[in-house]
A = this chain, B = another copy of it.
Amino acid sequence: MITTQTTRRTALTGVAATAALGLTAGPANARTRGPRIGVLLYDGFSLLDPTGPAELLSRLPGATVTMIAEHRGPVHTDTRQVSVLAERSVAEIDRLDVLLVPGAGNRGTVAAMQNPVLLDWIRRIDRHTTWTTSVCTGALILGAAGLLRDRATTYWASASYLESTFGVKYVSERYVRTGKVITAAGVSAGIDLALCLAALIAGEETARAVQLAVEYDPHPPFDSGNAATASPELKALALQLLAQSQK
């Protein structure tokens, strides 16, 4: 179960949310407005990192989910075979309630970590977010923006890089919260993060309904998703599959 700050949660549900979210609408409008969720896309992102959380968070009452990139238009995934459309450029977005930074393969992650336009925008947006979040190697991008403190999680294969580069302790959990920053582990962990966020934003009952809405009762046919118990051979094969598929 997740831990919620009652004061924050209270401030974010119902009519009271209008004040916390910076909205000035009255009760009628409060029902139709909700959290402004922005997902940062960049060339080479991994497809499930943003789309899993976006699916779940889009079901929160009144939520808007906006795909954002340095420039509007199609943004390629790490395989270069699929594109998601960025509806807005970073220049067009100056306030979000929730920022989510997905992960990518090496090429995409390194390029984003070295892109001052993206890092400046992340820092600027973070000043006013309620929650600043990442999935997978998106944590390294938050780190490059100077936003990680104390503890974080990231993709299992990037754990030592995270610790040595940003001086934060890697925690092998599905998601790790420090203040308003929540980092998730690799790729699919963004779905667990989204349920945590759903509860923080809209309360546990709504989060449970979101879980049912996406029938998230996972039963993978295998039990090989945890690097802590994986053999060196399986880890090597996983990284080889990623390297071969990423362009």
A residues lining the B interface (CB < 8 Å): 1-2, 46-48, 51-52, 54-56, 58-67, 74, 77, 79, 81-85, 87, 136, 155-156, 174, 185-189, 191-192, 195-196, 199, 204-227, 230, 234-235, 237-242, 244-245
Beyond known contacts A85-B85, A210-B238: 12 more, CB 8 A cutoff? A1-B222, A48-B52, A62-B244, A63-B245, A83-B84, A84-B85, A156-B215, A209-B234, A209-B240, A213-B242, A215-B226, A217-B225
CA distance A218 to B199 in the complex (A): 17
Q: B174, A241: Cβ atoms under 8 Å?
A: no
CA distance A64 to B81 in the complex (A): 7
Q: Tell me how far the C-beta of A245 lies from the nearest C-beta in chain B, rounded to whole angstroms.
A: 5
Residues of B within 8 A of A79 (CB): 58, 65
Q: B61, A82: Cβ atoms under 8 Å?
A: no
Q: Tell me how far the C-beta of A80 lies from the nearest C-beta in chain B, rounded to whole angstroms.
A: 10
One of B51, B62, B185, B245 near A47 (C-beta < 8 A)? B51
- What are 22 A-B contacts defined by CB distance under 8 Å? A1-B221, A51-B51, A51-B82, A59-B245, A82-B85, A136-B215, A156-B212, A185-B215, A187-B214, A188-B214, A189-B215, A191-B218, A192-B219, A192-B220, A195-B221, A204-B222, A208-B234, A209-B238, A209-B241, A212-B230, A214-B225, A215-B225
Closest to A76 in B: B85
Give the secondary structure class of A's interface: mixed
Known contacts A83-B85, A206-B241: A188-B187 contact under CB 8 Å: no
Q: A220, B206: Cβ atoms under 8 Å?
A: no
Q: Tell me how far the C-beta of A185 lies from the nearest C-beta in chain B, rounded to whole angstroms.
A: 5
CA distance A235 to B195 in the complex (A): 17
Known contacts A85-B74, A219-B192: A205-B237 contact under CB 8 Å: yes
Residues of B within 8 A of A55 (CB): 46-48, 187
Residues of B within 8 A of A234 (CB): 205, 208-209, 212
Q: Tell me how far the C-beta of A87 lies from the nearest C-beta in chain B, rounded to whole angstroms.
A: 7
One of B65, B155, B196, B218 near A215 (C-beta < 8 A)? B155
